[in-house]
Amino acid sequence: MHVFSHFWVIWYFMGFLCKKGPDLGTGAHIFPELPASASSLTPVNSHILWPCLWLLNLVDALIKAMIGLLQRVSGASVVVDGETIGKIDRGLMVLVAVHRDDGEHDIARLAERILTYRVFPDAEDRMNRSLLDDGLGLLLVPQFTLAADTKKGTRASFTKAAAPEKGEEYFERLVAACRGRLDAVETGRFGANMQVSLTNDGPVTFWLET
């Protein structure tokens, strides 16, 4: 389920619960720090409040997704200032983006998905093999623009993207997690102006989220 396609349904449901539910009290038992005058102006139904908070947490969790745009390639490379800093033959080239609310578990989850996602053909030419199965190359390239919000207007918003410091840290930790299980891991350079070249084999492209 993609959060944005269902956000308004969830929001409407929350509004219905919070506005239509019966008032079972003033809320002083839930918010004892409020003075009686304040709590009397803020009627709270404890049976309605917690479902609303749960739904808010659900929405918040759904937007916390580290992104990997995976492409199956017969070759890929990254050049910075005329120097090739990363190059692979057959394997995967993955563009990586970090959201501001991503957590440490997202690093491990994305690494696991990249390394084990079945995109390479087996003996029957079905996509049943992974990077780890075949020991192929992996080129990881940071690309914060994947975290953009493009729903409105003609200019992207990056309010949900991680700050550069966090983005770089999480990218480097993703690289380390992948190198711990696969020998042939190459990378781009965070914050650099990179020229990325690839030959997409298929073409085969997948959008992975944690």
Alpha-carbon distance values, 15 to 24, 46, 53, 188 (Å): 17, 15, 12, 46
Count CA atoms closer than 13 A to 57's CA, side-chain side.
6
As a whole number of angstroms, the distance between CA 63 and CA 193 comes to 28
Residue 144 is among the residues annotated as catalytic for this protein: yes
The SS3 call for residue 73 is: strand
Residue 145 is among the residues annotated as catalytic for this protein: yes
Give the ranges where the chain is alpha helix by DSSP (H): 3-20, 36-40, 46-62, 104-116, 131-134, 164-179
Catalytic residue among 84, 145, 199, 205: 145
Catalytic residue among 13, 26, 143, 206: 143
Residue 71 is among the residues annotated as catalytic for this protein: no
Catalytic residue among 120, 144, 171, 190: 144
As a whole number of angstroms, the distance between CA 98 and CA 169 comes to 10
Which active-site residues does the annotation give? 143-145
